[in-house]
Amino acid sequence: MKRKFLILCLLCLGLQQITAQENIKTMFYNLLNFPELSINRLDELEVIITDYQPDLFMVCELNDAFGAGLILTRLQSINPNYAQAVYFNNTSDDNGSNSNLLQNLIYYDSSKFILEGQDIITTTLRDFNRYTLRLNTVNQATNPIRLEVFVGHLKAGNSPEDELRRFLMVEELVSYLSTIDVNSKVIFAGDLNLYTSNDITFQKLIDPTNAITLTDPINRLGDWHTNSTFLDVFTQSTRTQGGLGGATGGFDDRFDFILTSENMMTNTDLYYVANSYKSYGNNNNPNCYNREINSSDCAEVPGSGISYSQTLRNALYDMSDHLPVVMELETNEQLLSTSSFNAEATFNFIRGNVTSDELAFVLNSSKKDNEYVIYNVLGQELQSGTIKNNDITRVNVGTLPKGIYYLTIENYTETKKFIKQ
């Protein structure tokens, strides 16, 4: 009887493994002229990445290879599995001023993705960048699952000339898509600078006669600009005051998108997770219309089920005039490595582990009211206090003598060393 029970348990376990679903988290973000505008925004970016933990991080408005490397180094301090695609300068304006400093790039979790190739699609203004990723699955030799990722940044402005330049750029992208396998799983992420879904550019992207038709996963179509009924998908602008760069018009536009090929809405190998598409940091508070994202007007609405903290919204405000867009994908195939960074409740330092005055760190945990304790090398307790989950805790260590110290979190085994200068 015991033998039969054991066999039944093993069969059930096998069925669970066969039907196990693997989750992929994606994020697109306009970095607002990084690092030329300000190199000091890496701390804010770290808060954002630590909070969402994307497996695929797609960006635009990256200025140069130096900035790309800075971001990779910071990302790897959070998750050592992060890798970067090959960086290329924009080539589309080589026949013009050759002064365009706005580039695209992706970062990805190399335990989940393998970068098979990349390409450049030139346009009348800025490149689109293509990245072919293969999921690192158990069955990749017999059933390879590839994701074609396109990242772009269309012309800004609302003049007829601007609209035409956006359309001409997208014509090049649509033409390029006609040259790849029609069954490809495609996502197109970018700052599209569109004011309405009736724009000829958006209609070109979703044209059903295209070889590969793109779709808005949340089907939130209409006139987005200054239309508060679309506040839940607004991504720009996070600011109303000048001094930080970027636009200052307040929260009233949907400029940033992740579009998918139609097959990703129904495909069983890799598909969009319903209700996972979000304007990240947007609490959908009606008072937030035309306000700054870190103001009390944009705070969580009690009972709404949406909760983006003040600390996160402060980081988003300081980092860029855009909010990121996030979306989840799922596959029924088993990944070779299913571990994700911070899978165990751990904490990460912000700005590293060397300080002269303030120690800042983030704890990722489902438990509440955690306590931190600081010890010296003799094991003597020096400071303690309560921390907030998934939020920045700042501790004044300015009065401590120079030396080596240890930070622990109650109920967790991990200990981190820091140096007081």
Amino acid identity, residue 192?
Answer: L
**Residues 55/24, Cβ–Cβ less than 8 Å:** yes
Rounded Cα–Cα distance for residues 171 and 319 (Å): 32
Q: SS3 of 177, please?
A: helix
Q: Please tell me the predicted confidence (pLDDT) of residue 417.
A: 82
Rounded Cα–Cα distance for residues 141 and 156 (Å): 43
Question: Distance between alpha carbon 317 and the CA centroid of its chain, in Å?
Answer: 15
**Residues 275/258, Cβ–Cβ less than 8 Å:** no
Residues 6+ apart with CB under 8 A from 209: none
- Sign of the alpha-carbon dihedral angle for 188, 191, 197, 199: negative
Q: Please tell me the predicted confidence (pLDDT) of residue 345.
A: 46
Give the residue extent of every domain in the chain: 21-331, 347-420
**Residues 361/348, Cβ–Cβ less than 8 Å:** yes
Domain at 21-331, CATH class: alpha beta
**361: pLDDT confidence band, cut at 50, 70 and 90?**
confident
Determine phi and psi for 353, rounding to 5 degrees: -110, 20
Determine phi and psi for 319, rounding to 5 degrees: -75, -45
Amino acid identity, residue 385?
Answer: G
Strands, E assignment, 249-346 = 256-261, 271-272, 278-279, 325-331
Determine phi and psi for 328, rounding to 5 degrees: -110, 145
Residue 162 confidence (pLDDT) above 50: yes
pTM equals 0.80
Average pLDDT, the chain: 88
- Sign of the alpha-carbon dihedral angle for 46, 48, 53, 56: negative
Rg (CA), the chain: 23
Token pair 């030329």: residue: 36
Q: Which of 362, 359, 231, 258 is nearest to 28 (CA)?
A: 258
Residue 10 confidence (pLDDT) above 60: no
The 10s digit of each residue's pLDDT in 292-340 is 999 999 999 999 999 999 999 999 999 999 999 999 999 999 898 544 4
The 10s digit of each residue's pLDDT in 36-61 is 999 999 999 999 999 999 999 999 99
Q: Domain 347-420 belongs to what architecture?
A: Sandwich (2.60)
